[in-house]
């Protein structure tokens, strides 16, 4: 039995999320069916995170155990051939130790949220960014975002369906940067609550509009009450960007 680490890129638009569900197509199910077609084995693919419906991934880390003798290169090539034309790609694959786990070995996760701030209709980024037609003050958003960095009770920014044992998390970084008409919000932490990033972004949007101040954002945090949330941003602009592990960074693409 060999454990393979996979780095997966996907457009979440046609999926109900990462996790296999009985009522729709998921990214996990799609990859597992491709693994079975190649190996004849019904394997489970574990991921570093569980993205929701419509959320994307630039580099989701995952792993799968396979009994069949196969190289990482042949596995990734075979999976990519079977995954076409669905918007899922295996960017890299390598064999890892049996005790390496995509979720439990992960020591850091990074998300990026993309906003297109313009009046003209979005074409190339349709479904892959949140279009905001009114001007946003990205500097005010970034200054307010720093109020959320650190160890806090993030109950206000937590979905009612969140299964985390505690609402207390340490947010390592929350940066807002403007690049022309595009605004990117980057969040980094060991782990996140369900909807935490989208909820933080929604409230930062209110700051950018001038409807909230940094003090209002901090007050919402201190309320520890979901009712104090200003807005939950749509899933379109959210990307799982990277997972980090104690041993190294992301694996490189393989070749024979």
The residues carrying an active-site annotation are 52
How far apart are alpha carbons 30 and 19 in whole angstroms?
Answer: 10
Q: 138: how many CB neighbours lie within 10 A of its CB?
A: 21
Nearest CA to 10 out of 72, 54, 65 is that of 54
Nearest CA to 196 out of 175, 169, 215, 222 is that of 169
Q: Which residue has the tokens 């929604």?
A: 202
CA distances from 235 to 75, 122, 147, 219 (A): 31, 16, 23, 25
Alpha carbons within 13 angstroms on the beta-carbon side of residue 170 total 4
How far apart are alpha carbons 45 and 63 in whole angstroms?
Answer: 6
How far apart are alpha carbons 154 and 171 in whole angstroms?
Answer: 10
């Amino acid at each position: 039995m060999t454990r393979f680490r996979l780095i997966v890129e996907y457009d979440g638009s046609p999926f109900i999320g990462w996790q296999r569900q009985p009522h729709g197509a998921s990214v996990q199910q799609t990859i597992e069916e491709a693994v079975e077609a190649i190996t004849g084995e019904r394997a489970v693919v574990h991921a570093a995170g569980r993205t929701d419906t419509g959320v994307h991934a630039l580099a989701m880390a995952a792993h799968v155990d396979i009994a069949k003798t196969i190289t990482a290169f042949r596995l990734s090539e075979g999976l990519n051939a079977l995954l076409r034309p669905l918007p899922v790609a295996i960017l890299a694959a390598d064999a890892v130790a049996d005790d390496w786990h995509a979720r439990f070995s992960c020591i850091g996760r990074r998300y990026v949220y993309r906003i297109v701030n313009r009046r003209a209709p979005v074409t190339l980024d349709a479904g892959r960014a949140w279009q905001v037609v009114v001007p946003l003050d990205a500097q005010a958003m970034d200054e307010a975002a720093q109020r959320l960095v650190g160890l806090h009770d993030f109950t206000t920014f937590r979905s009612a369906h969140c299964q985390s044992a505690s609402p207390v998390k340490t947010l390592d970084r929350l940066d807002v940067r403007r690049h022309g008409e595009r605004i990117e919000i980057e969040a980094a932490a060991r782990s996140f609550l369900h909807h935490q990033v989208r909820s933080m972004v929604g409230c930062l949007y209110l700051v950018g509009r001038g409807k909230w101040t940094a003090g209002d954002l901090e007050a919402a945090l201190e309320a520890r009450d979901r009712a104090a949330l200003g807005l939950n941003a749509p899933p379109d602009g959210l990307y799982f960007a990277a997972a980090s592990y104690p041993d190294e960074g992301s694996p490189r693409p393989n070749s024979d």
